[in-house]
Amino acid sequence: MRKSLALLIALVLAAGIAAAQEKKAVSCDRACLESAVNQYLAAMVAHDASKAPFAKNAIFTENTVKLPLTEGLWFTSTGLGEYRFFISDPQEGQVGFVGVVKEHDKPVLLALRLKVVNKQITEAESIVARTINEKNLANLKTAPKAFFEPLPASEKIPRQELVRLSNLYFDAIEKSDGSLVPWDPECYRFENGMLTASPKPANAPATPAAKTAGQPSPIPSGSSCSDGLSSGMLRTIYNIRPRRVAVVDEERGTTWGVYSFNHRGVLNVKMRDGSTRPSYAPSPETIVIAEQFKIVKKGKIRDITAIGTRVPYGAGDGWAGPLFK
């Protein structure tokens, strides 16, 4: 009996060791994940999915719609821009990417998520913003430096806390209360290349993109990250569902996620100062946004970039299901 038990334990341990070794052998580190993105982009511009390591049953969506790897940007892309950065998650085998791509030689913004299993791409999720104001292209010359920098060891934030803080931002939007978020005093936000919040009311934040622009911020005077959420204008939003913090880069304190901003079609909203203003979305629609956060200094949100586009109301995000099931 004892010999049988010992043999069983030995077999279980051996199986565990073998599984761990196999997992280690096929794991994909930061360099591997970023290489998968580069192969994906090159294959996309070449209009040939066979040039990238796709798994046989890979799933691809563009702007929430499932497509074959011959459609969307896979059909229209003509080149790549220099603006790009990654959010890598070796623990989950996922990577987020943000960059400029050329569609018929016109710049568009691409937010991309890949899932890599056994060195093969099993999922590819893309959000493409095709309407970019020319005045904002100057902000898309150099990627924000913060998304490349590791956090100091003393400022590392646990994975689940990075997820919680990212979601807290959207809780604050739903409640029109920016005070719910722990902001870094230097917080700023870019949306489709446009600076929409800054620590300096009349000037762009000291980021590489803003320095490249070399001109004043287009944001309204006094619009900080907190003020923008508390003004009342975002009461136009019914809710933000579904939400997915899909990629977490613990080393750099960054996250990449997709969030559906659902608008029921409110005609007017009451502002924080008591005034009433026309809603910016008087008809039902959803704006699906891929949003990236840099969280620093013991859990404070500082750097925010967002890439979004309009889709039918309640469409969901293409992965977590529609708003109404």
Q: CATH code at 258?
A: 3.10.450.50
**pLDDT for the residue 325:** 82
Cβ-in-10-Å burial (0-12, 13-18, 19+) of 168 comes to middle
CA–CA gap between residue 72 and residue 224 (Å, rounded): 36
Cβ-in-10-Å burial (0-12, 13-18, 19+) of 195 comes to buried
Q: Is residue 16 situated within a structural domain?
A: no
Q: Is residue 14 situated within a structural domain?
A: no
Low-confidence stretches of the chain (pLDDT < 50) are 1, 5-25, 201-222
Q: Is residue 283 situated within a structural domain?
A: yes
Q: Is residue 229 situated within a structural domain?
A: yes
**pLDDT for the residue 223:** 80
Neighbours of 62 (CB within 10 A): 20
Collapsing DSSP states into helix, strand and coil, what is residue 90? coil
**Pair type for strands 285-296 and 300-311:** antiparallel
Q: Is residue 21 situated within a structural domain?
A: no
Same domain, 115 and 237: no
Same domain, 180 and 277: yes
Same domain, 306 and 256: yes
Same domain, 150 and 208: yes
**pLDDT for the residue 134:** 86
Range of the domain at 93: 30-136
Collapsing DSSP states into helix, strand and coil, what is residue 295? strand
Our count of domains for the chain comes to 2
Look at residues 80, 101, 136 and tell me which one is the last residue of a structural domain: 136
Same domain, 274 and 235: yes
Same domain, 119 and 163: no
Name the one residue in this structure whose structure tokens are 């979305």.
Answer: 281
**pLDDT for the residue 214:** 32
